[in-house]
Structure 1
């Protein structure tokens, strides 16, 4: 659990530019969705 929290903190990004923040969140969301898809296909 602590590893997941540390990973979440490392993925966190607080840029001042809203466009950059959106791109970062979109990239993280796509990565998480891909991970879920891979895990569901393997399981």
Structure 2
């Protein structure tokens, strides 16, 4: 569980620019969605 929190902290984005923060969150969200899709297809 500590590794998950550490990973979440490393992915966290504290940018002042709202556009850059949005694009960062969008990329992270797409990466997580792709990972979930791949894992579900492997089962």
Q: TM-score, normalised by structure 2?
A: 0.97
Shift, 1:20, TM fit:
0.1
Question: What is the CA-CA distance between 1:24 and the residue it aligns to?
Answer: 0.2
Consecutive unaligned residues in structure 1, runs of 5 or more: none
Shift of 1:42: 0.5
Measured in 2, the distance between the counterparts of 1:2 and 1:38 equals 24
> Where does the alignment leave 5 or more consecutive residues of structure 2 unmatched?
none
Within 1, Cα distance between the matches of 2:42 and 2:2? 25
Show the counterpart of 2:36: 36
Instruction: Tell me the matched-pair count.
Output: 43
Cα distance between partner residues in 2 of 1:13 and 1:22: 9
Detail structure 1 runs of 4+ shifted over 2 Å in the superposition.
none
